[in-house]
Amino acid sequence: MLGLNKTDSKFLLIVILLTLFTPFLMQPFAADSGLDQFNGGYPDLMQKVAIFGIFAVGFNILFGLTGYLSFGHAAFLGMGSYAAVWMFKLLTMNVIPAILLSMIVSGLLAVIIGYISLRRSGIYFSILTLAFAQMCYKMAYSVLTPITNGETGLQLSLSDPRILDGATESTSLPVTNIFGLAMNSSYKLEALNRVFTFNVGFYFCAIIASIAFYIAIRLFRSPFGMMLRAVKSNQQRMNYMGLNTKPYTLAAFVISGMYAGLAGGLLAAMDPLAGADRMLWTASGEVVIMTILGGAGTLMGPVLGAGVIKYLENIFSKINESVLHSWFHWLPDGLEEVVVWVFARFTGEGWHLTLGLTFMLVVTFLPGGLVEGIKRLKKLTKRGQKPKDKLDAPDPEHTPPPSKHVV
């Protein structure tokens, strides 16, 4: 299907189905079950998972394939957001031109940053990209204030020209839309004591994310992807094979920069406002953590990592002390205080602590990320199903791993 082999087609199909049914899947708990704060099926979170999924998939094209760890990808995310908001201000509230422009602008920025940063590799490359991103961040606050609107952030206003939309007499700000269908409109379905929300914005992001994911699979399986993995493996051999590695790494850098720009544009399309905060180094660090948590170099890993982190961020930060008190009210008074105090460190404001612990555990025990964890679980269940003769059992050290990419 679509130029993919059987396994990849099946894989893509599963991913598409999962995205389409996200509103159901993220709403597993009934409203009165007491666990409904763990439900993540509201538009804001679902959109973020899809958008940051795109961001991480793009980042993985650079980091997972070539091994170049960029610490400045947030610059492209922020740049994409600014470009998209400017499109909303000047041209139209339709999101299509906005995200196209954000991809082009971040792509151009990636050419410049990449051309200079890729002269070095390893830690020097990481520091260079970090420096560039921080420069963009500082410039957004200082010299570029006419474009970025400084600390307030770039916002829509009623006096914006919006050439294609024409003048309206409305006194409220227009909303982003796709050919008239507003991004923030939702259809709610009440069933099984749950409220399922089908949001236009989410489905728009989901479709874009599926396309982005499909392109990523093609890239991974193409000769170009093979070359990028070769760059990660042995640059010297590439050179002595008559291959200049620079065009390959630069192409990967620009592609992943465009993915980041697309994600930034979508963020602005969901909520038309752009601030310099999106370019801060913590945002760059977040995508690194997403990719490594999920499994760098794998297809599904970054998406999984983005989902887990955005879920933790939104759900754990909502659990405050009063919620904890309602959970532990059955404990004796003194003990309840202690337990609530301990749990409060890990929830609400302290959700980063939970994230940090999760990250630490995953990196220590599952170097390949969550994807490796899933693979191990699969192996365990398979082993449980049909116990084999000891001699039949595959010896991992002497069995060649099946090739995923050729023949």
Partner 1 sequence: MGILEVKGVGKRFGGLQALGDVNLSVQVNTVHAIIGPNGAGKSTLLNCLVGKLIPDTGSVTFDGKSVLGRKPHEINQMGISRVFQTPEIFGDLTVMENVLIPCFAKRDGAFRMHAYESIEQEPDIVNKAEQMLIDVNMIEKRHMTGSSLSRGDKRRLEMAMCLAQDPRLLLLDEPTAGMARADTNNTIDLLKQIKEERDITMAIIEHDMHVVFSLADRITVLAQGTPLVEDTPDNIKGHPKVKEAYLGETQEV
State the Cα–Cα distance between residues 272 and 325, nearest whole angstrom: 37
Instruction: Report the nearest approach of partner 1 to the CB of residue 223 (Å).
Output: 4
- Closer to partner 1 by CB, 172 or 236: give it: 236
State the Cα–Cα distance between residues 288 and 266, nearest whole angstrom: 20
Closest CA to 299 of 220, 222, 231, 193: 220
Binding residue for partner 1, selected from 120, 232, 325, 352, defined by CB under 8 A: 232
What tokens does 293 get? 């948590």
In this structure, what are the phi and psi dihedrals at residue 10, rounded to the nearest 5 degrees? -60, -45
- Using CB under 8 A as the binding rule, whether residue 367 contacts partner 1 is answered as no
Instruction: Report the nearest approach of partner 1 to the CB of residue 3 (Å).
Output: 6
- Closer to partner 1 by CB, 130 or 260: give it: 260
92 contacts 342 by C-beta, under 8 angstroms: no
Buried-exposed string 300-327: b where 16+ CB fall within 10 A, e elsewhere: bbbbbbbbbbbbbbbbbeebeeebbeee
Binding residue for partner 1, selected from 119, 188, 378, 405, defined by CB under 8 A: 405
Binding residue for partner 1, selected from 74, 99, 154, 219, defined by CB under 8 A: 219
What tokens does 163 get? 């050439």
Instruction: Report the nearest approach of partner 1 to the CB of residue 399 (Å).
Output: 9
Q: By CB under 8 A, which span of 35-43, 265-273, 342-350, 397-405 interacts with partner 1?
A: 397-405
- Closer to partner 1 by CB, 57 or 136: give it: 57
- Using CB under 8 A as the binding rule, whether residue 221 contacts partner 1 is answered as yes
- Using CB under 8 A as the binding rule, whether residue 394 contacts partner 1 is answered as no
Instruction: Report the nearest approach of partner 1 to the CB of residue 396 (Å).
Output: 11
- Using CB under 8 A as the binding rule, whether residue 223 contacts partner 1 is answered as yes
200 contacts 211 by C-beta, under 8 angstroms: no
How far does CA 344 lie from the centroid of its chain? 27
63 contacts 291 by C-beta, under 8 angstroms: yes
Say which residues have a Cβ less than 8 Å from residue 25's Cβ, sequence separation at least 6: 18, 41
Binding residue for partner 1, selected from 229, 325, 352, 375, defined by CB under 8 A: 229
Binding residue for partner 1, selected from 227, 289, 292, 319, defined by CB under 8 A: 227
- Using CB under 8 A as the binding rule, whether residue 282 contacts partner 1 is answered as no
Instruction: Report the nearest approach of partner 1 to the CB of residue 228 (Å).
Output: 10
- Using CB under 8 A as the binding rule, whether residue 69 contacts partner 1 is answered as no
In this structure, what are the phi and psi dihedrals at residue 399, rounded to the nearest 5 degrees? -100, 125
Instruction: Report the nearest approach of partner 1 to the CB of residue 124 (Å).
Output: 20
Q: Could you say which residues in the range 236-265 bind partner 1, by CB under 8 A?
A: 236-244, 247-248, 251
Buried-exposed string 337-352: b where 16+ CB fall within 10 A, e elsewhere: eeebeebbebbbebbe
State the Cα–Cα distance between residues 373 and 361, nearest whole angstrom: 11
- Using CB under 8 A as the binding rule, whether residue 226 contacts partner 1 is answered as yes
Q: By CB under 8 A, which span of 107-115, 202-210, 229-237, 283-291 interacts with partner 1?
A: 229-237
Binding positions for partner 1, rule: CB under 8 A: 3-5, 218-219, 221-227, 229-230, 232-234, 236-244, 247-248, 251, 400-403, 405-407
